[in-house]
Amino acid sequence: MARSLTAPVLRVAPLALLASRALAQQAGVPVLADTLRRQHLGEVVVTATRTEKALTDVAIPVSVIGGKQIKSMGSLRLGDVLREQTGLSLVADHGQGIQLQGLNSEYTLILVDGEPLIGRTAGTLDLTRVAIGNIQRVEVVKGPASALWGSDALAGVVNIITQKPQPGLSGNLRARYGTNQTTDLSGTFNAGGERAGLTVFGNRYSSAGYTLQPESGTATIPPFASYTGQSRFTYSLSERTKFSLSGRYFIENQRSTAPITSEAGTTADVDLRSRQTDFSLNPTLTHRFGGDKVFATARLYYSRYHTQEAYTYAADGSYYDATYFTQSFLRPEVQVDYSPRLNQTLTLGAGYQRQTVEATRYDEQQQLANGYGYAQYDWSPLTKLNLVGGVRYDGPSQYAGQLSPKLAARYQLRPWLALRGSVGRGYRAPDFRQLYLNFSNPTVGYSVFGTHQVQAKVAQLAQQGQLASDPATGEPIVYQAALAQAGSLTAESSVATNLGFLLEPKLPNKDFSYRLTVNAFRNNLQNLIETTTVALKKNGQAVFSYRNVTRAYTQGLELENSLGLPHGFTLGAGYQYLVAKDQAVVDAVAAGTVFRRDPTTLETERVRPGDYGGLFNRSRHSWNAKLFYDNPAHGFTASLRAIYRGRYGFADSNANTILDAANEYVRGYLLLNVAASKTLGPRLSLQAGADNLTNYTDPAYISTLAGRLLYASVAIELGKKPVARTL
C-alpha cells in the first residue's frame, strides 16, 4: 500500500430491555462484555435503523464484531479487523479500503459513533488511520443504507462504536512490539460518577516500514509514526436530559526517499516529508419527553482533514515540489423518535451539511452544500412480522434533488427460522475529486484529472510532448472513446435487493449452539463511476480520469456459520460468491463486437462470453474459517483464522480496456493468522501472535501484504473495576 498522504482529493428493543440496561449502568453494574461465543439475545445494534434494536430482529444484513473478539484477534487497526469478515474484501487503492457486495470503497460510509470520517484518497478512506484500542464493537450494515445515511452509504455502512464512560475509576496501559519495528502504545482512562463521566484514549503507532521490491529504490511502506487521541465527556442534566461531547485527533508523520527520472532521462533522489491531521468535534444533546414516547437528539458535527507534503532533493535539500489538501465538514442534525406503542416507532430527521475542499491540485476552493431530511417507520403489525420503511431526500447544491426509499421486512416463520428481505434505491453524485482534480504524481509520474479538467489537460500534455506515440501512426496515444466518456460524467444510482434467512435451531445438547445466516444480493447500478485510462505517457505511466459504466450489476450469495462447541470453543466459517459485470460489455461480447490480440500469435481474435471476467478488483470466491478458544477460568484465549481471497482482475494488458485474459488476474491467496493471550492475576495479561503465518507476499500487485508479522504485547489494568453481574 502506498501511503500517499495527500487526498486528491430493530423493531425498537423492548422497553424493559432498554430500561434494565440503563438502570444497570446507573447502578454501577456493567453489562457483561461479549464473549467469543456470540450472545445473540443480548446484542443490540443502532446503525441499521438509527434506533436501538436487537440484532436478531433486524431485517437487513448486519454483522457485529465485539471488542473482546477484536482483542482476541490481536488486531491493531480497523483494516485488520474488517479483512477477516465475511463479504468484506480489503483492497489496496491509495490506502486500505473496504469493498462491500462488489462495490468500491468509496461507496461504503465509515462512521465513528455515527459520524462520518472524511479525507479520502482517490475515493478510499485509509483504514490504517483508525486505531481500535477503545472500540466497544463494530457494526457492518451490508447493502444500501442511503435512506438513512445518504449517498456515501450506497454499498453499506461500517460504524465504529467506541467505549462510553462507565461508573468508577479504571484504565489500562498496553504495549506491543513486532516485525518491522512496529510499536503500538496505548492507554485508556475512565472516570464515572453519579452525573458525569469521562473517557480518554491515547495511542502511538509506528513502524520502520518495509520494502517488497528493493530494486525499485523505494520503500513499499516508508517509516511512519502516528498519534491518536480520543475523548468523550457525558453529563446528566436531569434524568431525561443528557449531554455528551466527544472529540478525536489524529496525526501522522512520514519521511521517505524515492528516485525520480526527469524528462531528460537523469535520475535523482527526492526526500518526501509528509504530515496528515484529522480533527473532529461532536456535541450531542438528548431529551426524553413525557411518557418516554418521544426521544429527541440534537447533534453538531465538525471535522477537518489536512495534509502537507514537501519534496526536496536529497543531495542538497533544494526545493522540488510541495502540495497540501484541506477538507472541512460541518453538519447540524436533529432526530426525533416517536414510539406510541411497543410495536411502532416513527423516526424523523433533518440536517444540513457543508463541505469545502482546498488543495494544490484544485484550481480554486470548491464547496458543496446539502440539505436533507429522512423518515422511517418501524412497525410490527403481527407478532411474527416486522416492517421497516424509510425514505430520504437530499438537495445538494450542485445536482438535482434525489429521493432514496427503502423497504425491509422480517418474518419469524418458525421459532428457529426467520426470513428477511429488503429493497432500496440509493444515489451517489460525483465528488470533488471526480469533477475537479488536477494531479500529477511527482515521483511515480502518473496523472489523474477530474472530468471538468481532463480534455484540456490531455491536450496540454500532447502539446508538451509528454504523451507516448503510436509506433504505426506517430500520433499521441489517446484513448478517444474513454476520453469522451470522461467528459460526460453523471451521478450514479442503484436499486438493490437483499433476500435471506437466519437459522438458529435449538440443539438437544445445551453445550452446542448453531447459527446460519444466508443472504442473496443484487445491485443494479446505473452510471457507476470507475477509474479509466485516457492516455499513456512517455515515462510508461498512464493518464487517468473517470467514466460511467452505463449499466453494471453486482450479485452474489453470502453464507456465515457459527458453531458453539463445549469447553469454550467456537468455530466459524463464511463464504461469498460474487459476480460483478458491466452490462454493456456483456452485451457487446455476446454480439461478437469485442476483440483482443492473442499474446502468442499476435493475431486479433474475438472475445468469447466465457473470457469476460467482469469488473476489475473483484474476487469471484472468498471465504474465511475461524477457531476461537476462551477459557475465562484460567485466563486463556486463542484464535486461529484463515482468510482466502480468490483471484481478481488487476489491469488491462491487451488494450481493449476489459478483463478477458489470464495475465490480467492477480492470483488468489490464503492468509493464516494466529494469536494467544494469557491473563496473569487480576491486572496483567500477555499476548503473542503471528499474522500471515505462511509469509505470503505478492510484491508486484499487493503492497499491503508485508509477509509474516510476529508480535508480542503486554497489558496492565489500572484502577478499581466493578464486578460484572448477570442482569
Instruction: Output the domain CATH number for residue 74.
Output: 2.40.170.20
Q: Lowest-pLDDT range, 3-17, 78-92, 359-373, 436-450?
A: 3-17
Residue 42, pLDDT score? 53
Residue 126, pLDDT score? 87
Round the CA-based radius of gyration of the chain to a whole number and report it.
Answer: 26
User: What's the CA gap between 274 and 285, in Å, rounded?
Assistant: 37
Within 382-525, residue ranges assigned H as helices are 432-436, 454-463, 480-486
Q: Is 5 part of a structural domain of the chain? A: no
Residue 176, pLDDT score? 97
Please, are residues 500 and 61 in contact by the beta-carbon 8 Å criterion? yes
User: What's the CA gap between 541 and 537, in Å, rounded?
Assistant: 5
Tally of domains in the chain = 1
Q: Is 510 part of a structural domain of the chain? A: yes
Please, are residues 230 and 134 in contact by the beta-carbon 8 Å criterion? yes
Q: Is 6 part of a structural domain of the chain? A: no
Q: Is 726 part of a structural domain of the chain? A: no
- Print the domain residue range for 694: 15-316+326-719
Binned at pLDDT 50, 70 and 90, residue 146 comes out as: confident
Measured between its terminal Cα atoms, the distance across the chain in Å is 46
**Three-state DSSP class for 384?**
coil
- More confident call, 387 vs 604: 387
Please, are residues 61 and 502 in contact by the beta-carbon 8 Å criterion? no
User: What's the CA gap between 356 and 367, in Å, rounded?
Assistant: 4
Q: Is 1 part of a structural domain of the chain? A: no
Residue 604, pLDDT score? 85
Q: What is the pLDDT of residues 422-437, one digit of tens each?
A: 999 887 877 887 888 8
Question: Backbone phi, then psi, for 67, in 5-degree steps?
Answer: -60, -40
Whether pLDDT at 8 is above 60? no
All cell numbers assigned to 238: 436531569
Please, are residues 414 and 506 in contact by the beta-carbon 8 Å criterion? no
Q: Lowest-pLDDT range, 471-475, 643-647, 670-674, 697-701?
A: 471-475
Burial (CB < 10 A; 0-12, 13-18, 19+), residue 471, is exposed
Global pTM value: 0.86
Burial (CB < 10 A; 0-12, 13-18, 19+), residue 266, is exposed
For residue 3, how far is the Cα from the chain centroid? 16
Average pLDDT over residues 589-613: 86
- More confident call, 564 vs 124: 564
pLDDT above 70: percentage of residues in the chain: 92
Average pLDDT over residues 683-709: 93
Q: Is 2 part of a structural domain of the chain? A: no
Whether pLDDT at 7 is above 70? no
Binned at pLDDT 50, 70 and 90, residue 58 comes out as: confident
Q: Lowest-pLDDT range, 92-106, 339-353, 371-385?
A: 92-106
Binned at pLDDT 50, 70 and 90, residue 31 comes out as: very low
User: What's the CA gap between 368 and 431, in Å, rounded?
Assistant: 9
Average pLDDT over residues 383-396: 93
Which helix (H) or strand (E) segment holds residue 346: the answer is strand 344-359
* The residue type at 639: S
Q: Is 437 part of a structural domain of the chain? A: yes
In angstroms, what CA-CA distances link 707 with 96, 624, 648, 689?
A: 16, 19, 20, 14
Please, are residues 366 and 432 in contact by the beta-carbon 8 Å criterion? yes
Binned at pLDDT 50, 70 and 90, residue 259 comes out as: confident
Whether pLDDT at 551 is above 80? yes
Q: What are the b/e assignments for 589-617, b being 16+ CB within 10 Å? A: beeeebebeeeeeeeeeebeeebbbbbbb
The length of the chain, given as a count of residues = 727
Please, are residues 118 and 431 in contact by the beta-carbon 8 Å criterion? no
- More confident call, 314 vs 490: 314
Residue 726, pLDDT score? 34
Residue 676, pLDDT score? 97
Whether pLDDT at 655 is above 90? no
Q: What is the pLDDT of residues 397-415, one digit of tens each?
A: 877 788 899 999 999 999 9
All cell numbers assigned to 696: 505470503
User: What's the CA gap between 546 and 485, in Å, rounded?
Assistant: 8
Q: What is the pLDDT of residues 287-305, one digit of tens each?
A: 999 778 999 999 999 999 9
Q: What is the pLDDT of residues 493-519, one digit of tens each?
A: 889 999 999 999 999 888 899 999 999
Q: Is 21 part of a structural domain of the chain? A: yes
Residue 263, pLDDT score? 59
Whether pLDDT at 721 is above 80? no
Q: What is the pLDDT of residues 184-217, one digit of tens each?
A: 999 999 999 999 999 999 999 999 999 998 887 7
Q: Residue 203's beta-bridge partner residues?
A: 186, 228
What integer best gives the mean pLDDT of the chain?
86
Average pLDDT over residues 161-180: 95
Please, are residues 437 and 9 in contact by the beta-carbon 8 Å criterion? yes
